[in-house]
A and B are shown apart, each in its own frame.
Chain A
Amino acid sequence: MTTAVAFRKVSRHYGPVRAVDAVDLDVAEGEFFAMLGPSGSGKTTCLRLIAGFEKPTSGQIEIFGQPSADVPPYRRPVNTVFQDYALFPHLNVRDNVAYGLMIAGMARTERHRKAEEALELVALPGYADRKPSALSGGQRQRVALARALVNQPKVLLLDEPLGALDLKLREAMQVELKSLQRQLGITFVFVTHDQGEALSMADRVAVFNDGRIQQVGTPQDIYDRPRTPFVADFVGSSNVLEPAMVQRLTGRAVHASLRPEAVRLQNEGLAARVTGQSFLGAVTRLTLDVDGQSLSMMLGKGHSIPRTGDLVHIGWDDDALHLMDPSDG
């Protein structure tokens, strides 16, 4: 499989701040790759490094095998969907979408035809004559997508493109983006701080924290086998058990993750004190205290819900407890 984007020990420092710190990464061609992390974790800087808006302080980025150090953004085979969409306010939708083709020297009628096609692809036909200011957030997002895709980039970079949309629209766009990517076969590199979004859309996910990659893997890997407490905590709101408690349970003093839905109420087992409940619809989340370790669990319908302060007994299947070995980290 061809590598679309490769990071080789890439760092980007701003004075003493290490925005990106010695990152190694391979994105395969045709892959839907998500960069996930909290704000300030370096994921957006990585995206800007690929686009060429930032230069690495050290290390090298290759795009389809080509070292990109001296290649300006306008010569890279990548296009970006910006977080604020960055549509040109003085051009109508058609000219916005056709902008890249116009720069490439394509004749007017030809590029307008292509722009109309791209607008159809993003389900926005008939809007070509409007100004961006006359569009809703979701429509602007589609125009930004069409404007990037019409150039047939080898890699499409998306910087939190769904961040400004409301929940319903965001969920619909997730599905659409995913099927669009399948249909076009273009490599997508997608930056987000929303773990649900990353896990549901991506083929592979890189979890960033403090300028470093914590873990790269498929959504299942990341969710079921988090490699660091940070990943376990950030992805899927897992319980992270402290080494002291894990030692009592298994004899090994390492962090471990335990998904809330794997925890059961039992007649006997580990004693826990209920410290709170929150009703989530289909399930109720209980927060528990086990010798100072806080833990949450999901309780399905049909169970009687214990009250705060009640003493309960809990347990889980042996393979539900995932030990995080610091040596793989």
Chain B
Amino acid sequence: MAEAALHTAPTLAGRASDLLWRRQGLLILLLILPPALWLGIIYLGSLFALLAQSFFSIDEFSGLINYEFTLSTYAELFRPSNLDIIIRTVVMASAVTIAAAIIGFPVAYYAARYARGRWKALFYLGVMLPLWSSYLVKVYSWKLILAKEGIVSWLFETLGLTWLLEAYLSLPILGGNSLSVSWTGTFLVFLYVWIPFMILPIQAALERVPVSMLEASGDLGANPGQTFRHVLLPLALPGVVAGSIFTFSLTLGDYIIPQIVGTSARMIGQAVYQFQGTAGNIPLAAAFAVVPILIMGVYLYVARRMGAFNAL
């Protein structure tokens, strides 16, 4: 009797959980199936559709898509005006990434090494808080901050440094009529909006570096600068690379920030937006959209070859 009781699954739920316990592969399959379908069909599917589009071309006169394999759309990317867009975007994304790493590293280091208890909570709050408000609200606020009558101009005026701002704005490329219509403005807003994505992975990487590792380096004669170069940076590099993947790819693809803050010259995101929308040139939009993917692929490959993931 007792043995029989041991084998009875009284309810349907009980039976189901018994089955999952006996067949653990089934459980894993059930857990993985929905996200796998989502990623496989919605994400990868649309990515391949995009890739396919980029190998078609548009008929210049009728504006109809010619569904035949051609590389002519890709060749169009190398027209000077299009190449400018790509170079401009890559330079901007690199500048934002480098600046975010330089500013983010000390913040992440402080949080990982020294912040405890309440300070740590404050750190997370400070880093995450900007992510909680709407992206558009932030960008428009920055437009006001950087505008000709904005708080930055006012600050320079109050400090009697208007001449300095004027001198900066008169610089070619970097300057403009006001900060809000300059590349500097675009850069600052990108930096502000994406920097949490740089700080958090670096902080996570630094958390995993034991203090004894840094002490050992000092013990073996390395001054703090040498310890940073030979131990801390290599061990934090996976975090820096992870962060830079975010800041770099987010900047590469964004089309709203350069629309609102900055000059009228376009970046890749804007080009994609216009080619697929107003211009109706889906193949060229697709070809443009492939550019960031290729750049990120090359970037990850180079990072791996340089040993960025060796400490993982």
Contact yes or no, A73 B215, CB < 8 A: yes
Given contacts A84-B210, A86-B213, A99-B230, contact A74 B218 (CB under 8 A): yes
Contact yes or no, B218 A73, CB < 8 A: yes
Q: B207 → chain A, closest Cβ, in Å?
A: 15
Contact yes or no, A99 B219, CB < 8 A: no
Interface hub of B215, B216, B307, B311 (most chain A Cβ within 10 A): B216
Question: Which residue on B lies nearest to A104, using beta carbons?
Answer: B221
Which residues of B252-310 have CB atoms within 8 Å of chain A's CB atoms? 307, 310
Question: Does A80 sit within 8 A of B, measured CB to CB?
Answer: yes
Residues of chain B contacted by A86 (CB below 8 angstroms): 210, 212-213, 215-216
Question: Does B231 sit within 8 A of A, measured CB to CB?
Answer: yes
Contact yes or no, A100 B221, CB < 8 A: yes
Question: Does B222 sit within 8 A of A, measured CB to CB?
Answer: yes
Which residues of A64-97 have CB atoms within 8 Å of chain B's CB atoms? 72-75, 78-80, 82-84, 86-90
Residues of chain A contacted by B177 (CB below 8 angstroms): none
Q: Bound state CA distance, A51 and B216, in angstroms?
A: 10
Contact yes or no, B311 A89, CB < 8 A: yes
Q: Bound state CA distance, A86 and B219, in angstroms?
A: 11
Given contacts A89-B311, A90-B310, contact A79 B219 (CB under 8 A): yes
B173-205 CB mask vs A (1 if < 8 Å, else 0) is 000000000000000000000000000000000
Q: A94 → chain B, closest Cβ, in Å?
A: 14
Q: B236 → chain A, closest Cβ, in Å?
A: 11
Question: Does B162 sit within 8 A of A, measured CB to CB?
Answer: no
| Number of residues of chain A lying within 8 A (CB) of chain B | 26
Residues of chain B contacted by A90 (CB below 8 angstroms): 234-235, 307, 310-311
Q: Bound state CA distance, A79 and B220, in angstroms?
A: 6
| Number of residues of chain B lying within 8 A (CB) of chain A | 20
Question: Does A103 sit within 8 A of B, measured CB to CB?
Answer: yes
Question: Which residue on A lies nearest to B219, using beta carbons?
Answer: A80
Contact yes or no, A103 B215, CB < 8 A: no
B209-248 CB mask vs A (1 if < 8 Å, else 0) is 0101101111111110010001100110000000000000
Question: Does A41 sit within 8 A of B, measured CB to CB?
Answer: no
Question: Which residue on A lies nearest to B218, using beta carbons?
Answer: A73
Q: Bound state CA distance, A148 and B217, in angstroms?
A: 11
Interface hub of A53, A90, A100, A148 (most chain B Cβ within 10 A): A90
Contact yes or no, B220 A99, CB < 8 A: yes
Question: Which residue on B lies nearest to A131, using beta carbons?
Answer: B310
Contact yes or no, A51 B231, CB < 8 A: no
Question: Which residue on A lies nearest to B226, using beta carbons?
Answer: A103
Residues of chain B contacted by A72 (CB below 8 angstroms): 218, 223
B61-105 CB mask vs A (1 if < 8 Å, else 0) is 000000000000000000000000000000000000000000000
Interface hub of B210, B213, B219, B226 (most chain A Cβ within 10 A): B219
Given contacts A88-B231, A90-B311, contact A151 B212 (CB under 8 A): no
Q: B210 → chain A, closest Cβ, in Å?
A: 7
Task: Report 25 cross-chain contacts, Cβ distance below 8 Å, ordered by A residue.
Answer: A52-B218, A53-B215, A72-B223, A73-B218, A73-B219, A74-B219, A74-B221, A74-B223, A75-B221, A82-B212, A82-B216, A83-B212, A88-B216, A88-B217, A88-B231, A89-B311, A90-B235, A90-B307, A90-B311, A99-B220, A100-B220, A103-B221, A103-B222, A148-B219, A151-B220
